[in-house]
């Protein structure tokens, strides 16, 4: 059932690249990023419970192009991922409590059990299709915007309606 929900959520993915979203409102289904490359939106499923984070994208056979999964932790911490039972290559974007990207791991190998450390002080991890971070020009220092990021700490807070 969870797999069907994840795939259905990804089916409605979209992208918009521009520099002019400063006043856009946030949505739980959308994560925005900005940096030297401009801005981009990803359609996301949020994993914010231990069970959802443990499941992640395991057994998902494909993911639409501008989609992903946002892992949300209760507090900044050292995190590490692996690709056991994950069938597609992924880029992992690790961000701190303000939503600022601190590390990007590109093209994690499907079904590999090698730990992929995100570093210390990580509270958010965005998983997207492998190769997408390089294609879009995402990098360390870019900023994420999503309602799960504490707005009083966010480097790029959600706009008020």
pLDDT digits (tens, 9 = 90+) for 36-68: 999 999 999 999 999 999 999 999 999 999 999
Residue-wise pLDDT for 120-147, tens only, equals 999 999 999 999 999 999 999 999 999 9
How far lies 33's CA from each of 2, 43, 87, in Å? Answer: 26, 12, 25
Report the candidate in 31, 2, 34, 30 with the shortest Cα–Cα distance to residue 18: 34
pLDDT of residue 25: 77
Average pLDDT of the chain? 88
Note the pTM of the prediction, 2 decimals.
0.86
Q: Which two tokens stand for residue 4?
A: 């069907």
pLDDT of residue 156: 97
pLDDT of residue 159: 81
Percentage of the chain beyond pLDDT 90 is 83
The SS3 assignment for 33 reads strand
Sign of CA dihedral 61, 64, 66, 71: negative
CA 57 vs. chain centroid, Å, equals: 12
Q: Which residues contact 152 (CB under 8 A, 6 or more apart)?
A: none
Contact in structure between 10 and 63 (CB atoms under 8 Å): yes
- Is the pLDDT reported for residue 2 higher than 60? no
Contact in structure between 125 and 71 (CB atoms under 8 Å): yes
pLDDT of residue 16: 38
Task: Determine the Cα–Cα distance for residues 64 and 98; give it in Å rounded to an integer.
Answer: 27
């Amino acid at each position: 059932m969870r797999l069907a929900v994840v795939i259905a959520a990804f089916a409605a993915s979209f992208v918009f690249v521009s520099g002019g979203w400063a006043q856009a409102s946030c949505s739980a289904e959308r994560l925005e990023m900005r940096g030297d490359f401009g801005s981009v939106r990803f359609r996301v499923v949020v994993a914010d419970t231990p069970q959802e984070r443990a499941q992640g994208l395991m057994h998902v056979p494909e993911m639409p192009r501008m989609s992903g999964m946002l892992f949300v932790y209760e507090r900044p911490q050292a995190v590490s991922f692996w690709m056991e039972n994950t069938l597609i290559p992924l880029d992992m974007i690790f961000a701190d409590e303000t939503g600022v990207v601190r590390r990007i791991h590109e093209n994690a190998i499907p079904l590999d059990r090698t730990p992929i450390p995100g570093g210390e002080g990580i509270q958010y991890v965005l998983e997207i299709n492998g190769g997408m971070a390089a294609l879009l020009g995402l990098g360390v220092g870019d900023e994420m915007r999503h309602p799960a990021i504490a707005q009083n700490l966010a480097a790029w807070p959600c706009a008020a309606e």
